[in-house]
C-alpha cells in the first residue's frame, strides 16, 4: 500500500493478493494492531495506518 495525500491509502495491485492476505490486512486496519505468533511466543504491535 502506498500513502497518498491527506491520509488516503491506495492499494496497489489489489487483485494480485491472495484472499488470506487481504483478510489479514482488513483485520489489522480494524483492530489497529498486528499479532505475530511464533513458537512459544505471541506478541502484538501497534499498526496505525
pLDDT at 32: 84
Please report whether residue 9 resides in a domain: no
pLDDT at 42: 92
Please report whether residue 10 resides in a domain: no
Please report whether residue 3 resides in a domain: no
Please report whether residue 4 resides in a domain: no
pLDDT digits over 1-49, tens only? 445 556 666 677 778 888 888 888 888 888 888 888 898 899 998 877 6
| Exposure string over 2-39, b if 16+ CB within 10 A, otherwise e | eeeeeeeeeeeeeeeeeeeeeeebeeeeeeeeeeeeee
User: Domain range spanning residue 30?
Assistant: 17-49
Number of domains in the chain: 1
The rounded distance, in Å, linking the Cα atoms of 38 and 16 is 27
Please report whether residue 5 resides in a domain: no
pTM of the model: 0.49
Q: What's the CA angle centered on 27, arms 36 and 15, to 5 degrees?
A: 105
Amino acid at each position: 500500500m502506498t500513502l497518498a495525500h491527506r491520509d488516503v491509502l491506495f492499494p496497489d495491485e489489489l487483485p494480485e493478493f491472495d484472499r488470506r492476505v487481504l483478510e489479514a490486512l482488513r483485520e489489522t486496519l480494524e483492530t489497529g494492531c498486528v499479532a505475530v505468533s511464533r513458537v512459544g511466543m505471541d506478541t502484538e504491535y501497534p499498526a496505525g495506518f
